[in-house]
Amino acid sequence: MSRTRRAVIVGASIAGLTTAEVLREEGFDGEIVIVGEEAQLPYTRPPLSKQILLGEWEPEDARIRTRAELDGLGIQLLTGVSAAGLDVAGRTIHTSVGPIAYDDLIIATGTRPRTHPLLPHSPSLRTIDDAILLRAQLRLARRVAVIGSGILGSEIASASRKHGAETVIVGRSGTLSFGGVGSLLSDRLAHLHKVNDVELALHADVISASPSSGGTELVLRGSAERSFDLVVVMIGGTPCTEWLAGSGLDIADGVACDDVGVAAPGVSAVGDVAAWHDPSTGRGVRTEHQSNAIEQAIAVASRIARNGEIERPVPLFWSEIHGTQIKAVGWFDQRRQLVDTSVDPTTDRSILCARAQDGTLRGAVAWNAPPREFQSARAEIITSARTAIQPIPKEDRR
Amino acid sequence: MPIEVKAGACVGAGQCALVAPNTFDQDEDGIVVLLQHDPQGIDLKSAIRATQLCPARALAVSAR
Q: Is the pLDDT confidence value at A394 over 70?
A: no
Q: Which residues contact A388 (CB under 8 A, 6 or more apart)?
A: A309
Contacts of B55 in chain A (CB under 8 A): 290-291, 294, 316, 318
Res B14: pLDDT: 86
Q: Which residues contact A32 (CB under 8 A, 6 or more apart)?
A: A6, A7, A9, A20, A23, A24, A73, A74, A75, A76
Cβ <8 Å between A69 and B63: yes
Q: State the smallest CA–CA distance between residue B4 and chain A in angstroms.
A: 12
Per-residue pLDDT of A75-132, as tens digits, reads 999 999 999 999 999 999 999 999 999 999 999 999 999 999 999 999 999 999 999 9
| A316–chain B Cβ distance below 8 A for any pair | yes
| A21–chain B Cβ distance below 8 A for any pair | yes
Q: State the smallest CA–CA distance between residue B13 and chain A in angstroms.
A: 7
Upper half-sphere CA count for residue A360 (Cβ side, 13 Å)? 13
CB A93 within 8 A of CB A8: yes
When CB atoms are compared, the residue of A64, A72, A371 closest to B12 is: A371
Q: Which residues contact A123 (CB under 8 A, 6 or more apart)?
A: A130, A133, A134, A137, A230, A232, A233
Q: Is the pLDDT confidence value at A340 over 70?
A: yes
Per-residue pLDDT of A231-284, as tens digits, reads 999 999 999 999 999 999 999 999 999 999 999 999 999 999 999 998 888 999
Please report, for residues A213, A382, B4, B50, the alpha-carbon distance to residue A291 in angstroms, rounded to integers and kept in the order given: 43, 14, 20, 13
Q: State the smallest CA–CA distance between residue A41 and chain B in angstroms.
A: 15
Res A114: pLDDT: 97
| B9–chain A Cβ distance below 8 A for any pair | yes
User: Which uninterrupted H or E stretch holds A333?
Assistant: none
Contacts of A316 in chain B (CB under 8 A): 13, 55
Res B43: pLDDT: 95
Per-residue pLDDT of A298-321, as tens digits, reads 999 999 998 877 777 889 999 999
Q: State phi, psi for A301 to the nearest 5 degrees.
A: -65, -40
With cut-offs at 50, 70 and 90, classify the pLDDT of residue A2: low
Q: Which whole number is the average pLDDT over A348-374?
A: 91
Contacts of B11 in chain A (CB under 8 A): 318, 325, 327
| A71–chain B Cβ distance below 8 A for any pair | no
Q: What is the residue-averaged pLDDT of chain B?
A: 90
- What's the full length of chain A, in residues? 398
| B2–chain A Cβ distance below 8 A for any pair | no
Query: Which of A33-42, A301-310, B33-42 is predicted least confidently?
Result: A301-310
Q: Within the 37-56 window of chain B, which residues sit less than 8 Å (CB to CB) from chain A?
A: 48-49, 52-53, 55-56
Higher pLDDT among residues A292 and A390, named by residue = A292
Please report, for residues A10, A23, A296, the alpha-carbon distance to residue A17 in angstroms, rounded to integers and kept in the order given: 10, 10, 12
Res B1: pLDDT: 75
Q: State the smallest CA–CA distance between residue A18 and chain B in angstroms.
A: 7
Cβ <8 Å between B60 and A64: yes
CB A261 within 8 A of CB A276: yes
Cβ <8 Å between A290 and B11: no
Q: What is the ipTM metric for this complex?
A: 0.91
Res A345: pLDDT: 66
